[in-house]
Amino acid sequence: MSNPHINDTHNPSMKSWVESANDPATDFPIQNLALCAFVAEHDGHTHGHLGVAIGDQVLDVSMLAMSGALGDPEGDMAYMLHSPAWNFVAATPHVWGDLRARLQEFLREDAAGGQRMRRLREKALTPIAATKFMLPMTIFDYTDFYASKHHATNVGSMFRPDNPLLPNYRHVPIGYHGRASSLVVSGTPVRRPLGQQSPPDGEPGAGPAFGPCKLLDYEMELGVYIGAGNRLGEPIPISRAAECLFGMGILNDWSARDVQKWEYQPLGPFLAKNFASSLSPFVITMDALAPFRTAGPEREAGDPQPLPYLRGSGDWALDITVEVHLLSEQMRRRGMSPVRLSRGSFRDMYWTVDQLLAHHASNGCNMQPGDLLGSGTISGRAPDSRGCLLELTWQGNGPDGKPLPRKAVELPTGETRTFLADGDEVIMKAYCEREGFRRIGFGECRGVVMPAPVLA
Alpha carbons within 13 angstroms on the beta-carbon side of residue 391 total 28
CB 396 within 8 A of CB 402: no
Show Cβ contacts of residue 90 under 8 Å, excluding neighbours closer than 6 positions.
96, 137, 225, 226, 227, 228, 246, 247, 369, 370
Rounded Cα distance, 18 and 28, in Å? 11
Residue 140 burial (C-beta neighbours within 10 Å; 0-12, 13-18, 19+): middle
Rounded Cα distance, 245 and 427, in Å? 26
**DSSP-assigned letter for residue 137:** S
Which whole-number Å values give the CA distances from 429 to 252, 341, 345, in the listed order?
Answer: 11, 12, 12
10 is catalytic: no
Beta strands in 314-388 (DSSP E): 317-318, 321-327, 339-345, 372-374
Catalytic residue among 151, 325, 359, 360: 151
Helix ranges (H only) for 298-451 are 329-333, 353-360, 389-392
Q: What share of the chain is helix, strand, coil (3-state, %, to 5)?
A: 25, 25, 50
Q: How many helices (H) and strands (E) does the chain have?
A: 12, 26
Q: For residue 340, give the amino acid letter.
A: R
Q: For residue 124, give the amino acid letter.
A: A
- Residues marked active site are found at 151
